[in-house]
A and B are shown apart, each in its own frame.
Chain A
């Protein structure tokens, strides 16, 4: 396969300016991740130590095979919610290797509010189990949660994708034959009690682990019965009397050792036999991506320069290189896996939309997973383009992206605005994974334009009320609207709301995609079939 000829001038002032800018963004991302992972109030850590409990990341490290990669998802969930007091939404989620098997881990973080489930914690667990269902990944649950955060119960309990969905997803996984192993390392109360009960295998730690629908205080209030934690839902009771849990463990390490033994005897998954070749490092240094992404999101850049620094050997077979040039399509390998890439190189015109819809069907027909690299301001507008049917051509892309059976993975590299987000496999189109880069923005239209529209409406309202505004007054209306719009369209807000599966340092993208593609191959791929394309 041909190597991309990079046009990047790594000696230029422009390259160095961009590199400085993007390295700072990456450093900032790493620092935010470090804080979300490790900064905890001392009293919470002391409390866990007194209880002989490990911290959640120590548990995960003990569970994983040493020296194997762990792809953590949504590390910065809830970073802009709950006054920033619930880092990671109190949940750690990620894909790793346990006893040689690819699994997805859901772990409650008891160092955050006792592991209480906030609305975004529930969303993160549900998303973790959605990933397990879509990719047929066995699940290991590390249970240590105080239960739902009561003051927010209205936002976490009743709706379709709220708390009940966790248990529904567990039941569906079981029905699909995808096993789950729960390790009960703390209390599993109320709804949380169903997590081990709905797992095929459950290990419970003597002394600290407990499972019950209602804890001792609730039982006392409800029926007057005085009962200890151990009698009500301890390891001995559940493993010898109720049969709610399967294995009693003497301590956390023992429990993790038993769980590793259980995972080690699970049936090895037959993976989808995707075309694979020996991996080759990119010919161009991936860290040069820092010098590719402009400092201003409005500036265009050639996405081929990103592809060249992400795929094996920087080799790319470009499809229709001269047609619909604002959408770059083609085949490449990533960690040896064959992928079809769709990458934005400008506004989508009629020809680019047709090319995209066509190429997606080609990938689906040849059973090649699709990788979407988004930097999209939208579809071209105007009379000429409407007459040529830009709306129905965009609809073709949506028909293709929605109907495709092959796995889709999306990386939002810079802008993701309006309908472009749809046609390029945004969150609503069920890509198996969706990641963002730190500078990227996502919103229904570009920040500046939207803020201008909102500000103009306000100014006109005031004008109708008879007020005449000076330029300074108009600016003072516009600025806060712009600031708020910018915040709500930032990658950090998106990841806080779990609209994505995490923010990646651009340089780590290749490795993250390798783990992600490998995970997708656990699920079978259906026969291609589609709805009706409006011609």
Chain B
């Protein structure tokens, strides 16, 4: 599984492996000998397949800014666990389940209401502890399974959001 990068909205995959004393860059299943010597000020000497390039490199989190041969590139690293995760995965669940048994102390929304991600929907109390049930994504309340004063068991459904249509993902 190769590393993936985005440069100007285009995805690239590559892998760097050791080869003897140096390194080899694997791009399109072709190994290319590479080396990189960096000074303290970000000025680097890059050798690709024997050709020398002078570059200036600045690292900013997952983005690396590179000045090379008169042009500037912003290279963003995408972690493979993010790259391959379904983008809608975190938001694909439609139901909030009770994390523990308890009682509803406040219901802040009504059925059919549109909510923003992070908005408090319910406040529940359990074991002398109040917990806010917040919208885990943007959406419309499809069902409020409980009202103020209701008690519920662990894993009982509390709120259901209307499913996200495929086009909205």
Interface residues of A (CB under 8 A from B): 62-68, 241, 249-251, 253-254, 256-258, 260-261
Report whether B1 and A254 are in contact in the complex, using a CB–CB cutoff of 8 Å. no
Complex: A183 Cα to B105 Cα, angstroms: 42
Contact of A260 with B1 in the complex, beta carbons under 8 Å: yes
With both beta carbons as reference points, the residue of chain B lying nearest to A254 in the complex is identified as B84
Known: A66-B2, A67-B24. A250 touches B85 (CB 8 A): yes
In the complex, chain A residues whose CB is within 8 Å of the CB of B79: 257
Q: Do residues B85 and A67 form an inter-chain contact, with CB atoms below 8 A?
A: no
Complex interface: chain A residues within 8 A of B84 (CB):
250-251, 253-254, 256-257
Please state if B86 and A251 are interface contacts (CB–CB under 8 Å): yes
- Name B residues whose Cβ lies closer than 8 Å to a Cβ of A: 1-2, 15, 17, 24, 26, 31, 79-81, 83-86, 89, 155
Residue pair B81, A67 in contact (C-beta under 8 Å): no
Chosen A-B contacts, 11 in total, with CB atoms closer than 8 Å, are A66-B17, A67-B15, A67-B31, A241-B155, A250-B85, A250-B89, A253-B84, A257-B1, A257-B79, A257-B80, A257-B83
Q: Which 10 A-B pairs have the closest CB atoms?
A: A257-B80, A253-B84, A254-B84, A66-B15, A250-B86, A67-B17, A257-B81, A62-B1, A250-B89, A67-B26
List of A residues within 8 angstroms of B80 by Cβ: 253, 257, 260-261
Closest chain A CB from B90 CB (angstroms): 10
Q: How far is the CA of A228 from the CA of B124 in the complex (A)?
A: 31
| Minimum C-beta distance from B13 to chain A (A) | 9
Q: Say whether B17 contacts A63, CB under 8 Å.
A: no
With CB as the reference atom, state the residue of chain A lying closest to B3: A66
The answer to whether B85 touches A256 (Cβ under 8 A) is no
A contact residues around B83 at 8 Å (CB): 257
Which residues of A are found within 8 Å of B86, using beta-carbon distances? 250-251, 254
Q: Report the minimal beta-carbon distance from A213 to chain B, rounded to whole angstroms.
A: 22
Q: Are A254 and B15 in contact (CB under 8 A)?
A: no
Contacts A66-B15, A257-B83 supplied; 7 other A-B pairs, CB < 8 Å: A64-B1, A253-B1, A253-B80, A257-B1, A257-B79, A260-B80, A261-B80
| Chain A residues within an 8 Å CB radius of B31 | 67
CB contact under 8 A between A261 and B81, given known A67-B15, A68-B17: yes
CA distance A257 to B79 in the complex (A): 9
B82 nearest CB neighbor, chain A only: A257
| Closest chain A CB from B24 CB (angstroms) | 7
- Given the known interface contacts A250-B89, A253-B84, the answer about A63 and B1 at a Cβ–Cβ threshold of 8 Å is yes
| CA of A249 to CA of B19, assembled, Å | 33
Q: How far is the CB of A221 from chain B (nearest CB, A)?
A: 28
With A256-B1, A257-B1 as given contacts, are A66 and B85 in contact (CB-CB < 8 Å)?
no
Residues of B within 8 A of A258 (CB): 81
Interchain CB contact under 8 A, B89 and A65: no
The docked-state distance in angstroms from the alpha carbon of A39 to that of B17 is 31
A528 to B2, CA, bound (A): 44
Q: Which residues of B contact A254 (CB under 8 A)?
A: 81, 84-86
Q: Considering the chains assembled together, what is the distance between the CA atoms of A389 and B90 in angstroms?
A: 76
- Chain B residues with CB below 8 A from A250, complex form: 84-86, 89
Q: Which residue of chain B has the shortest Cβ distance to A251 in the bound complex?
A: B84
Complex Cα spacing A64 to B89, Å: 26
* A66 cross-chain contacts in B, Cβ below 8 A: 1-2, 15, 17, 26
Chain A residues contacting B155 (CB-CB under 8 Å) are 241
